Amino acid sequence: MSGRGGNQRPLTSPDGRDLQYARLLFDALWSKTSKSGRRFAKDQDLLYRRWLRLARVIIRNNGGATPFGSLGDTDRVLDLLELPDDRNSGYPSLRDLNEEELASLKWQRAIATEALDEIYIDLGRPLDQRDALASERESWKIYDDASSFLFRWGNQPAYDANPNIKRKRWRRREIIVSYRWEVADFCKRWRLKAWWAVPAIIQHHFLRAENGSAWDRTIPPLSMYVLEPSTPVALPVTVKLPDRSEKQFERDKTTVLDLSETTVIQTVGGPIRVIRHQFSREERAEWERSNDSSCVLLEWDGRRHILQNNDIWPDSPTLVTPGEFLVERCEYRLGRNLKTREKRDVLRQCWEQIREHRIRLGAEGWAALSDGNLDLIATSVARLLLSPSVTWDALTPVDERGSGKNRYRDAPSIQRACNTFSALANLELPAKRTGRGKGSHNAYDPAHR
């Protein structure tokens, strides 16, 4: 964003944003009553009923609760469920360990588990990476070697007690493999090409099986993820007060950015120190005035305009841009109106910092929050998934046509909104045929001259 134009909407963090948009999409899919929507509902209900017995057995063996927690851990839990149990896994019969061997086994396993957890965190959690080539990463190979060594070392007392034991050949539980394959096939069939699709459907199956008849069938997957478009982000914007030197500005800038207030509360158990770093605009303005700071700071929340109190009409605050707000603050500090050159310099400093903030956050995956009708866009994306042949013109809502921003009055606007929605949800939309539709012709036809 530069100057008064550009994208000046509030920014949102990439953490969990794709799941928030995925929840909107699942909500739209679960509420579709069209012919394709009814086929989708029937297909997903048949998939659930086919594997209901398996889900109930797994829940019962897990103490009556679903074994799935975080969405990113779904594949890891399924990998553990695929492994066979330890019954009859070795021959001849195992000798029971005595008390000394059991104590040694418990001690070594605890040390190995703690060490492996520390290695896992230090390597950046390699198993949580969703990259298809994660197994080729150096961190994954280091973790694989470390886990193999620590697993062997942690179970060494058991190996020493039964040195001649041979393990039987085993295969993964085919029923778990088949279940994962059918859920993946369901998502592929309905064009849900996203990393969260299969885990979300599996977790929805187990939550529904755990609650039984008390489960509301209208609740879609990922219903716990709620989009909060009003969540602000504080971006510091500092400008130099006119008539001050660059040396003074750099000195005061460090103090302003690190401003804190410490309050000591005396209690029976001793003093409690409360450190505060968040200040209102009025408090910051008073601190800058009392300390004669050459730096004026604004904690900008990413919005295009700022509510500014009006002395003439206190009940009707005016909307000003961040640059205009800082110009007024500088004029208040100096007690005079800024000259044209001074005002341009303050605005330039403001917009350069705002542009830099947005570029850096954009490189980290932050994106502008949509101020359009997200429910309408989620419904349009759901129609694209259920009926890929639908045209962009057919997706354009009749009641939303007209003038104004984000009214989706034509096919290009609804297309841009759907592509942006799918990008924020990490979803790949079905490929659509480019060019004119079948049977259309140019507006200019030489045959009709």
Give 426-441 pLDDT, tens digit per residue: 899 988 765 555 555 5
Cβ neighbours of residue 427 closer than 8 Å, sequence gap 6 or more: 18, 21, 22, 25, 192, 193, 194, 381
Averaged pLDDT score across all residues of the chain: 79
Q: What is the pLDDT of residue 202?
A: 93
Q: Which of 156, 178, 165, 162 is nearest to 111 (CA)?
A: 156
Q: What is the pLDDT of residue 144?
A: 80
Q: What is the pLDDT of residue 140?
A: 76
Q: What is the pLDDT of residue 215?
A: 86
| pLDDT tens figures, 19-65 | 888 999 999 999 988 999 999 999 999 999 999 999 999 999 888 88
Cβ atoms of 7 and 358 closer than 8 Å: yes
Q: What is the pLDDT of residue 447?
A: 45
Greater model confidence, 315 or 428: 428
- Cα angle 107, 108, 112 (rounded to 5 degrees) comes to 120
| pLDDT tens figures, 341-395 | 988 998 898 888 888 888 887 777 777 766 678 888 999 999 999 998 888 888 8
Q: What is the pLDDT of residue 127?
A: 66
Look at phi and psi of residue 65 and say left if phi exceeds 0, alpha if psi is from -120 to 50, else beta: beta
Average pLDDT over residues 65-82: 85
Assign 261 a pLDDT band (cuts: 50, 70, 90).
low
Q: What is the pLDDT of residue 406?
A: 55
Cβ atoms of 241 and 294 closer than 8 Å: yes
Q: What is the pLDDT of residue 191?
A: 93
| pLDDT tens figures, 138-188 | 777 888 888 888 888 888 888 788 777 666 555 678 899 999 999 999 999
Taking the chain, what is the end-to-end CA distance rounded to the nearest angstrom?
48
How far is Cα 198 from Cα 192, in angstroms, rounded to an integer? 9
Greater model confidence, 39 or 82: 39
Cβ atoms of 71 and 200 closer than 8 Å: yes
Share of the chain above pLDDT 70, in %: 78
Is the predicted pLDDT of residue 91 greater than 70, yes or no? no
How far is Cα 70 from Cα 248, in angstroms, rounded to an integer? 50
Which residue pairs from 66-75 have beta carbons closer than 8 angstroms and sit at least 24 positions apart in sequence? Answer: 66/203, 66/206, 66/207, 66/209, 66/210, 67/206, 68/202, 68/203, 68/206, 71/19, 71/196, 71/199, 71/200, 71/203, 71/222, 72/128, 72/130, 72/199, 74/198, 74/199, 74/202, 74/203, 75/199
Q: Quick one: CA torsion of 431, 432, 434, 438, rounded to 10 degrees? A: 150
Q: What are phi and psi of 270, to 5 degrees?
A: 130, 175
How far is Cα 401 from Cα 409, in angstroms, rounded to an integer? 4
Is the predicted pLDDT of residue 71 greater than 70, yes or no? yes
